[in-house]
Amino acid sequence: MTPDFIHTPAVQKLLDRAAGSDGEGGDARLKHIMRDLLEALMALIVKHDISESEVWQAVSFLQKGAGEFGLIMPGIGLEHFLDLYMDAKDAEAGRDGGTPRTIEGPLYVENAPLVENGASLTSDPDDTGMLYMSGSISGPDGEPVPNAVLHVWHANSKGFYSHFDPTGEQTPFNNRRRLKLGADGRYSFQSKMPNGYSVPPGGATDQLMQALGRHGNRPAHVHFFVEAPGYRTLTTQINFGDDPFAADDFAFGTREGLLPVPNRQGDSAYIAFDFVLQRAQSASDEGFSARARAAA
Ligand SMILES: [Fe+2]
């Protein structure tokens, strides 16, 4: 079958009706997107001669794996693609500079304790060393950013996040805090050393990675949101530059400029890292994306 099959009157009429393009009502933008999405899927079926059985296997995979969509999105590179696309649009608009953005991932939890600068993030015992991280938050002209809130979250030494720990061992908000910063834009915190992790064994992401001949490992890393009045909210993370998966992150979270090499002292480590924010150009710049996030 040639790709022209998609352009036969029967298929085109089906697309118009399926997307509501031939009728009034509904959301015009959604109708356009839906029609293009359906046409792209149909073209894919024809191009690869995907069988009926394979289509229903794919539907079953998506149904069973729905709980892992938050992991599949970075795993197949779509979350990183969104970063690349936002970067490209920023460049077109002349909005360069600052610490690179990178993927949020699915494991942020809202309303973590708001604590003073210098606090510990860790509530639970963990048989590992300490991470000491510090640096500055400044604006495009090097000015200190006053009154920032630094959201920090990371895994424990087993690679598990509080609220998402299959062992159920962690107390709420372990290794999660919001640091309330002062006029000088300086920050520091300490916590139990995080470790890298792999996707849940046997889960949908794991199955997909195996079928693609890929692994599902991330290097040790620490996630951040940086928000401050008058500045654009930054979503980013640092990956440990000396981790074996630093340059081979299954989630594509590693980016140039976000790979500090920890200064190791026994089983503890020190990381110095400075954030540079862009100025907000609108109220929405100071907010967060509309992504649905866990709350506790
Ligand atoms: Fe993470």
What was the pLDDT predicted at 1? Answer: 82
Give the pLDDT of residue 275. Answer: 98
- 3-class DSSP assignment, residue 82: helix
pLDDT in tens, 130-183: 999 999 999 999 999 999 999 999 999 999 999 999 999 999 999 999 999 999
Going from the Cα of 223 to the center of ligand 1, the distance in angstroms, rounded, reads 6
Query: Each residue of 207-227: b (16+ CB within 10 Å) or e?
Result: bbbeeeeeebbbbbbbbbbbb
CA of 74 from ligand 1 middle (Å) equals: 11
- Total-model pTM: 0.95
Separation of CA 253 and ligand 1 centre (Å): 9
Tokens matching residue 264: 């190791």
Mean local confidence (pLDDT), 112-130: 98
1-10, 72-81, 124-133: least confident range: 1-10
**Lookup: tokens for 153:** 């979250």
- Convert the pLDDT of each residue in 47-60 to its tens digit: 999 999 999 999 99
Radius of gyration of the chain, Cα coordinates, nearest whole angstrom: 22
Tokens representing 52 are 């009926």
Q: For residue 68, how far is its CA from the centre of ligand 1 (angstroms)?
A: 14
Distance from Cα 170 to the centre of ligand 1, integer Å: 16
How much distance in Å is there from the Cα of 71 to the middle of ligand 1?
10
> 80 CA to middle of ligand 1, Å?
14
CATH architecture of the region 70-295:
Sandwich (2.60)
**What does the domain layout of the chain look like in residue ranges?**
3-50, 70-295
Range 233-251 average pLDDT:
97
pLDDT in tens, 25-43: 999 999 999 999 999 999 9
User: Does residue 3 have a pLDDT over 90?
Assistant: no
Calculate how far, in angstroms, residue 273's C-alpha sits from the geometric centre of ligand 1.
Answer: 18
What is the phi/psi pair of residue 45, to 5°?
-60, -45
DSSP string across 188-208: EEEEEPP--EEPPTTSHHHHH
Chain centre to alpha carbon of residue 90: 19
Separation of CA 172 and ligand 1 centre (Å): 16
